Structure 1
């Protein structure tokens, strides 16, 4: 009887040890799960940051393109004004020449 009692106690002790091991493994698994969730959260945060940076880059690119377009339009306007000024200058020279011609005719 004593032997069976001892056997039972040993088995009980083994069961308790196994239970402790199982709990430790469960705790480890939970910790790993928590770590994985944290890593996933960090990854999602980095993805959000990257998307925000990409959006900002697109905005800056759009601004640069708009400014470039404005500069091109201003350049076109300046060229047009320059052309107009040259035309007026040519007209003025022609009028001046005509005036000189008239004066020369009168004088002769």
Structure 2
């Protein structure tokens, strides 16, 4: 995660007399993005893995596999994971939270 964070663009702001670097994405958001990409990838698709692409004004993280539910039901559906064993392990290791908790947006 540190490697990704260091590659992302940042801004500098001046507050009072101190200049401060502000990251484009909070570390907690990066953690959530990466955990979701790993937990929800389709391991049955061979020859591919999650991909992180950095653009000047956005970050795209894609993974193999299709959505488990349609886009119109994505917000209100019961949380599901394609790889529940991996999700449980990542929760125990502290890399992600409970299913469906997400982060405050």
Give the TM-score taking structure 2 as reference length. 0.22
| Higher normalized strand content (fraction of residues) | 2
| Higher normalized helix content (fraction of residues) | 1
Larger radius of gyration: 1
Give the TM-score taking structure 1 as reference length. 0.22
